[in-house]
Amino acid sequence: MTPPDNLGSPGSVPGKVTTHSLTEMKQAGERIAALTAYDFLMAQALDQSGIDVILVGDSAAMVVQGRHTTVPVTMEQMLYHAQVVAKGVQRALVVGDLPFMSYQVNPDEALRNAARMVKEALVEAVKVEGGCMIAPTVKRLVDVGIPVMGHLGLTPQSIHKFGTYKVRATELEEAKQLRLDALALQDAGAFAVVVEKVPADLATSLAKELEVPVIGIGAGPGCDGQILVSHDMLGLYTKFHPRFVRRYAELGESMREAFGEYIKDVQSGSFPNQDESY
Ligand code: KIV
């Protein structure tokens, strides 16, 4: 059955964000707002706030599982996070990160894992890290109907190769390669490219050159959109505070205060009171 034209995608709500509407936003000069989520309630709150894109990031490894890098998170764990996020979202575009080694071995394996994300977790797109090298895989996924978001610059799945989280593509050669990587992703059919921790001028020129939206994280104001890790901007994950993270709340502090109050009330016997008892 064909859905009516005013709906973004089958079964969706009016105003549903799709890969297509993100391109339209870029063309209209409207900035795209994206954040990460890993569970139902966070996803629901983001969607109700009007966020455009929700990424089920492999940053789950760090901010949910307490790992040191994004490398250890598994396909099964990412599927679980993606499933519960997708359940809480009506309007935003939900993108599922493919974890390290779920797509690098060969395009067939990548396709099987990306298809699981779309079929079992009901995300609408997947994200992969890498440029020219991964472009044939991106094309394979896009050819069968799975939209792909690219990720360049600081690519955390390669942290052991780089050995540092410092700004990427500050040297001319690396900047030239990043541009070629972005063009390769676009040619392969990627609908958007995330660029992480690169000089603002480079990201601005990429956003001007590419037809698909460039979503920045630590890449300055000239991108077509911005993404942050929700746990960073909410002050929940405080292990690092890179300068590109603006803190919009201090929820970690609020939680510790609330837990402390509760503990005091239990210890003093003031909780529960009569109104809180049957
Ligand atoms: O995993 C993640 O949260 C990400 C964003 C930082 C873009 O890849």
User: Does residue 232 have its Cβ closer than 6 Å to ligand 1?
Assistant: no
Q: Distance, CA 58 to ligand 1 centroid (Å)?
A: 6
Which residue puts its alpha carbon closest to atom 8 of ligand 1?
57
Does the domain spanning 5-247 belong to CATH 3.40.50.970?
Answer: no
pLDDT tens readout for residues 102-113: 999 999 999 999
Question: Mind listing the pLDDT tens digit for each residue in 145-159?
Answer: 999 999 999 999 999
Does any ligand 1 atom lie closer than 6 A to the CB of residue 182? no
- Structural domain boundaries in the chain: 5-247, 251-278
Q: How far is the CA of 219 from the centre of ligand 1 (A)?
A: 13
Confidence of residue 5 (pLDDT cuts 50, 70, 90): very low
Is 6 a residue whose pLDDT tops 80?
Answer: no
Is-catalytic flag, 124? no
Q: Under DSSP, is residue 218 helix (H, G, I), strand (E, B) or coil?
A: coil
pLDDT score at 13: 82
Which one of 51, 69, 194 would you pick to mutate in the ligand 1 pocket, going by the greatest count of ligand atoms within 8 A of its CB? 194
Give distance in angstroms: CA of 7 to centre of ligand 1.
28
* Helix 172-188 × helix 135-143 angle, to 10°: 20
Cβ of 73 less than 6 Å from ligand 1: no
Neighbours of 169 (CB within 10 A): 24
Number of neighbouring beta carbons within 10 Å of residue 62: 23
Q: Which atom of ligand 1 is nearest to the CA of 34?
A: 7
Q: Which of 13, 17, 12 is nearest to 33 (CA)?
A: 17
Q: Is the pLDDT of residue 257 over 60?
A: yes
Q: Region 211-215: what's the mean pLDDT?
A: 98
Q: What would the mean pLDDT of 115-135 be, rounded to a whole number?
A: 98
